[in-house]
Amino acid sequence: MQNSRGMRIVLALLVLVIFAAYSYLQIAGFEVLSYPGRSAAPVPAESGAAAPEDAAAQEPAAAQETEPAPALPITLPGQPTPEPVPTVDPESPYGKALANAAALGLPPPPDIDINSWEFTLVNGDHSIGRYEPEQLAYLHQTLKETDVQLSYNGNRCPVDARIAEPLIAMGQGCIEAGHPIFLSSGYRSYDTQAQNFTRICQNNGITDGKDGAGHYITMPAGCSEHQLALCCDITDRYYETKTPDKVASPTIDWLLENCADYGFVQRFPLGKEDITGVMNETWHFRYVGVEAAHYMTDNHLVLEEFLALYGVE
């Protein structure tokens, strides 16, 4: 009984002490505040200090305006790792072509092997000597027969075997469009071109193969694309001699519009005589591959201008 009374006295004293402490804090002007994420701490209640809602305004600016860290690239499971974009060596042929094209206001040229066989340059300043193609193909001149013969046939048109299929395809496309085809003057050997040069010079009273404007009407041996065998003269029928007016026909028109689709370009167009060094030959078509042919045709470039983009002079 005495123990119970003692306990009650102790509890009463404890309550009295807590009440006295609370009263002291009230009298001293403090109140207990609790902030999310931090322990309770005494903060002045009405002494002009910032209210809890103003606490953020009192924090340093750096804490308020911290920029988020840059996001790191994330590769999801099963997703291929992105490959780095390759850089182009500015001293490489393609690097030079990109820079030269940009300087001329041209679109980026194709990324090609400029040393590949279809880009061999032959003209009055670039002789191929006594070059002979490794393999000739002999094609039917009107393409009524589309077989490719690899043995000599004097009644057919010889060309480099590597352009036989695209040349047949282009001729067949022209025929299907309703226009006849005649293939002439494909490959000419060094000796044949030498004879051709002498004959034409004698017939025209010249010695250098050039007309009055200084453009070749016949090429010296070693300087003709016909010796390279990557070209062919294409008309609607056989002509003993050719001039642009004489051979003008829907066949020529169709070829000019569609030849790039087969990898060919008109090699000596009107208006480019000072660059090619050769008179306008609307009938002379040269193989350069589809990608290069489209770029050259779309941007009105002849082979000399196209190769110059890549540093070929």
Q: Give the Cα separation of 279 and 277 in Å (integer).
A: 7
Taking residue 209's Cβ as centre, other Cβ atoms within 10 Å add up to 21
**Residue 183 belongs to what H/E stretch?**
strand 182-184
Which strand ranges, in their side-by-side order, compose the sheet holding 281-287? Answer: 182-184, 231-235, 281-287, 264-268
Supply the pLDDT for residue 44.
45
Cβ pair 244, 270 in contact under 8 A: yes
pTM recorded for the entire structure? 0.73
pLDDT lower than 70: segments of the chain: 1-6, 9-10, 12, 15-17, 19-78, 81-85
The count of residues in the chain is: 313
pLDDT, position 63: 45
Rg of the chain (C-alpha set): 44
Q: Which domains are delineated in the chain?
A: 2-50 (no CATH), 93-309 (3.30.1380.10)
pLDDT of residue 85: 60
How many other CB atoms are there within 10 angstroms of residue 10's CB atom? 10
Burial degree of 211 (CB within 10 A; 0-12, 13-18, 19+): middle
Q: How many CA atoms lie within 13 A of 252 on its CB side?
A: 17
Neighbours of 95 (CB within 10 A): 15
Burial annotation 227-260 (CB, 10 A radius, 16+ → b, else e):
bbbbbbbbbbeeeeebeeeebebebbebbeeebb
| Residue 173 CB contacts under 8 Å (≥ 6 apart), including other chains | 258, 261, 262
Give the side-chain half-sphere CA count within 13 A for 208.
10
